[in-house]
Chain A
Amino acid sequence: MSDTPLPPRLELSGICKSYPAVVANDHVSLTVAPGEIHAVLGENGAGKSTLMKIIFGAVKPDAGSVRWNGADVHIANPQDARKLGIAMVFQHFSLFDTLTVTENIALGLAADVNMAELAEQIRQTGKNYGLDLEPHRHVHTLSVGERQRVEIVRALLTRPQLLILDEPTSVLTPQAVQKLFVTLRQISAEGCSILYISHKLDEIRELCHSATVMRGGKVTGHCDPAQETAASLSRLMIGAEPEQEAAAKPHAPGELRLQIRQLRLPRAHAFATPLDGISLELFSGEIVGIAGVSGNGQQELLAALSGEDRRCKPGMITLKGKAVGHLGPNARRALGQSLVPEERLGRGAVPEMSLTDNMLLSHQRAPFVVNGMIQFKHAIQAASDIIGRFRVKASGPAALAKSLSGGNLQKFIVGREIVRNPDVFVVAQPTWGVDVGAAAQIHHEIRLLKEAGCAVLVISEELDELFDLCDRLHVIAKGHLSPSISSRDATREQIGLWMSGLWDKDGDQDAARGQANAAGELASA
């Protein structure tokens, strides 16, 4: 009833934080009003995570001040933050698979609680905010979207005044994202402020009231995202306009290089996704993409393609006409397939070994290995060549894989596979966690491969990347693969629907009606 304006919920002034190798935060200032949805926008490595850790109490700033509802505060640890009313939903969930939803939430609350009452509270809160949850289910049975709901409900039950969300939509279909936005708007309308960390320009423009843009540890601007264009935000974020892609050269489909026919694979273990009826054709000189939210069978499909999982019938996968479903990785390499796995450290490369030694993971024949003995001179030379050609920032071929940054290691691994001159090139999450410059370079190399006549398959969770690179797209959902669609004809909305498994399975012409009905089925993410 009073007319005096409320003090800002959170006010950061001149926050500085340095680590031995890098200045993570350089005089960062930020203000969040009560009930405001405030975006923190920036690329990987811009300093967003460090800033959030400071707000959340996990990290202490070297300098600067924090004010909460107008008063100076000192947040020494997460318990202090929680007492103030700050709640955070991390990008990587803090959940316990073998415990129930109720138990998971109980662990996030400060005091000892009555489990039965809590279960009821969870149900109520879920209903109120459109985040339906069954309190007695074990978390390992939940989908990724449902797990996020557990995290959000856990945060809401602490009655926060500030809710921090770190890249919340990386695990959601476009429809589920909309649903989340409805929930967030409701929370903000009730007076809780929201800090929304993301690098997705469209989402921020749609949802957020205000934004702080960071680059290289500094704030490059404060703005109202609704008044900005994607181009102007992008300029603040990476200092340049988003790259104008050269128009995709039209291509005539070449020879059939990789064919998957009705691939069926039961689950390999309790937490895996079974694959059913997957069919795909890949021709030379094209880039085909497979979109999908993580956990829908991508890992299982990759294992079948790489040869790590050999349970398929031979004819289910053919490489250049030869049945390979039952063959291992090296047989497929011999037929001209190269594969870049999703995980760099630990799978694509051995962290404790040098780049030279890591060459031998996929280069196992002459001249690298002769009569069972390793020819080190060749391996060293090959590693040096890759470092030079792909501009990998490393001290040399003897550098340990774990000493390289994510982007540089990815460039090395991609380079290692490209120099094999493959006929089929399969790559998963090519630019995940990679800085913008390296990502652009990797995309460029992939396009070069295509122009040289290679058949390229890209599996990715980033729709932007897929739309940029690919000629044709499939979507994988719950172990099934959609038919392919030209990337020029596809819309994000349609892909989003397909991500929920709602593609035209029987050639039914009433697709429009089907899609309208599907719009109501957006509960499951």
Chain B
Amino acid sequence: MENLAALVAASINSGTPLLIAALGLLINERAGVLNLGAEGMMLVAAIAGFAVGYHTHSPLLGFVAGAVAGMLMSSLFAWLTLVLATNQVATGLALSIFGAGLSAFMGQSFVGMSLTTRPTAIPYLADLPFVGVALFSHHWIVYFSLLLCAAIIWFLYRTRAGLVLRSIGESPESAHALGYPVRSIRFAALLFGGACCGVAGAYLSLVYTPMWVEGLVAGRGWIALALTTFATWRPARVLLGALLFGSVTILQFHFQAIGIAIPSQILSMLPYVATIVVLVLISRNPDWIRLNMPASLGKPFRPG
């Protein structure tokens, strides 16, 4: 039982960065903008967060640094795609490649260093059997991510601003004709997405693996992108998906721990294979995609 509780806790821990990043990307994509630079943003935020956290001994400042780094990267993307109307996919790829280079460069002096972080146990609840360990003894960012999810659901479906955002994703031309500042709103969405990817990246280097190694992010940015599609751009489903992926990632270590005779490298493929499977399942019905995907996703918008 204890083992199971620890497993659940670990799964939640592992799924949290995916959740936060995917929620940010969801807001981007709901506004019709596709930012493939998620991996690059998470990488840069991870090193920025780690560096600041290490030098200031304050994980909170580390998270702030991560968010800022993410926003700076995404504003670069926003300027290129919204102001210069460059191709969104190519620009996003460029951002990821650039982010990989920048983070490796910045990180070379930090390789192998580590931090200590403490989880925030919720008083009383953390002492409950099973759920105490599984649910209530996490780092405060985990609880924050759940609040973020709820906030986004409220924003998208219950506020006018959310309605406007959704309309821009559906048809920026119509929204523009109605007088809405499409590019400004998309810019804001991109900044929010960047901040989320930044926090997610910082989480990886400050909490999840509290040390700096190359390959820390290991494709989670891409997985988060797949997650948004898998969740059909709905926040509640993103939560479920993140948990699912978190469990898959943890499962491979569990297998290795209980001595199942599959080579560790093959087991490490699990999250990536799972991503492919999930993409295949969700993309099979083109009709369904047409009805659920923000129609303008990835297409450039040039106000006439």
| Residues of A in contact with B (beta carbons under 8 Å apart) | 77-79, 82, 90, 93-99, 103, 106-108, 112, 140, 269-271
Q: List 10 A-B contacts (CB under 8 A).
A: A77-B179, A82-B179, A95-B174, A97-B295, A98-B295, A99-B167, A103-B167, A107-B167, A107-B180, A270-B290
Q: Tell me which residues from 137 to 182 in chain B have a Cβ below 8 Å from any Cβ of chain A.
A: 160, 163-164, 166-167, 170-171, 173-175, 177-180
- Assess whether B163 is in contact with A94, with CB atoms less than 8 Å apart: no
- Secondary structure at the B interface, as helix, strand, loop or mixed, is helix
Does B2 reach chain A (CB closer than 8 Å)?
no
- Assess whether A270 is in contact with B287, with CB atoms less than 8 Å apart: yes
| Residues of B in contact with A (beta carbons under 8 Å apart) | 160, 163-164, 166-167, 170-171, 173-175, 177-180, 286-287, 290-291, 295
Q: Which residues of B contact A79 (CB under 8 A)?
A: 179
Taking the closest CB of chain B, its distance from the CB of A406, in whole angstroms, is: 16
Q: Which residues of B contact A108 (CB under 8 A)?
A: 178
Q: Which residues of B contact A77 (CB under 8 A)?
A: 179
Taking the closest CB of chain B, its distance from the CB of A152, in whole angstroms, is: 15
- Assess whether A269 is in contact with B286, with CB atoms less than 8 Å apart: yes
Give the complex CA separation of A271 and B288 in angstroms: 11
Taking the closest CB of chain B, its distance from the CB of A141, in whole angstroms, is: 11
- Assess whether B171 is in contact with A96, with CB atoms less than 8 Å apart: yes
Taking the closest CB of chain A, its distance from the CB of B33, in whole angstroms, is: 17
Taking the closest CB of chain A, its distance from the CB of B99, in whole angstroms, is: 31
Give the complex CA separation of A61 and B295 in angstroms: 34
Q: Which residues of B contact A269 (CB under 8 A)?
A: 286-287, 290
Which of A96, A99, A108, A140 lies at the interface centre, i.e. has the most chain B CB atoms within 10 A of its CB? A96
Taking the closest CB of chain B, its distance from the CB of A220, in whole angstroms, is: 27
- Assess whether A78 is in contact with B170, with CB atoms less than 8 Å apart: no
Q: Which residues of A contact B163 (CB under 8 A)?
A: 99, 103, 106-107
Which of B164, B175, B177 lies at the interface centre, i.e. has the most chain A CB atoms within 10 A of its CB? B177
Closest to B161 in A: A112
Closest to B286 in A: A269
Closest to B177 in A: A94
- Assess whether B291 is in contact with A94, with CB atoms less than 8 Å apart: no
Q: Which residues of A contact B166 (CB under 8 A)?
A: 96, 99
Taking the closest CB of chain A, its distance from the CB of B14, in whole angstroms, is: 33
Closest to A59 in B: B304
* In-complex Cβ contact of A107 among B175, B286, B287 (8 A): B175
- Assess whether A96 is in contact with B286, with CB atoms less than 8 Å apart: no
Closest to A138 in B: B291
* In-complex Cβ contact of A97 among B171, B175, B177 (8 A): B171
Chain A to chain B: the 3 pairs with minimum beta-carbon distance, closest first: A94-B174, A94-B177, A96-B170
Q: Which residues of A contact B164 (CB under 8 A)?
A: 107
In addition to A96-B167, A107-B180, 10 A-B residue pairs with Cβ atoms within 8 Å of each other are A78-B177, A93-B174, A94-B178, A97-B171, A98-B170, A99-B170, A107-B167, A112-B160, A269-B286, A270-B287
Closest to B173 in A: A94
Taking the closest CB of chain B, its distance from the CB of A98, in whole angstroms, is: 6
Give the complex CA separation of A108 and B166 in angstroms: 14
* In-complex Cβ contact of B178 among A98, A107, A270 (8 A): A107
Taking the closest CB of chain A, its distance from the CB of B169, in whole angstroms, is: 9
Give the complex CA separation of A234 and B160 in angstroms: 48
Give the complex CA separation of A77 and B181 in angstroms: 12
Give the complex CA separation of A82 and B180 in angstroms: 13
Taking the closest CB of chain B, its distance from the CB of A449, in whole angstroms, is: 37
Q: Which residues of B contact A78 (CB under 8 A)?
A: 177-179
Give the complex CA separation of A98 and B290 in angstroms: 10
Give the complex CA separation of A252 and B163 in angstroms: 61
Give the complex CA separation of A78 and B291 in angstroms: 31
Q: Which residues of A contact B160 (CB under 8 A)?
A: 106, 112
Closest to A77 in B: B179
Q: Which residues of B contact A82 (CB under 8 A)?
A: 179
Give the complex CA separation of A94 and B168 in angstroms: 11
Closest to B293 in A: A98
Closest to A103 in B: B163
Taking the closest CB of chain B, its distance from the CB of A193, in whole angstroms, is: 21
Give the complex CA separation of A106 and B164 in angstroms: 10
Q: Which residues of B contact A93 (CB under 8 A)?
A: 174
Closest to B291 in A: A270
Give the complex CA separation of A79 and B164 in angstroms: 16
Give the complex CA separation of A28 and B166 in angstroms: 40
Closest to B168 in A: A96
Give the complex CA separation of A103 and B166 in angstroms: 11
Q: Which residues of B contact A90 (CB under 8 A)?
A: 177
Taking the closest CB of chain A, its distance from the CB of B173, in whole angstroms, is: 7
Give the complex CA separation of A107 and B159 in angstroms: 12
Q: Which residues of A contact B286 (CB under 8 A)?
A: 269
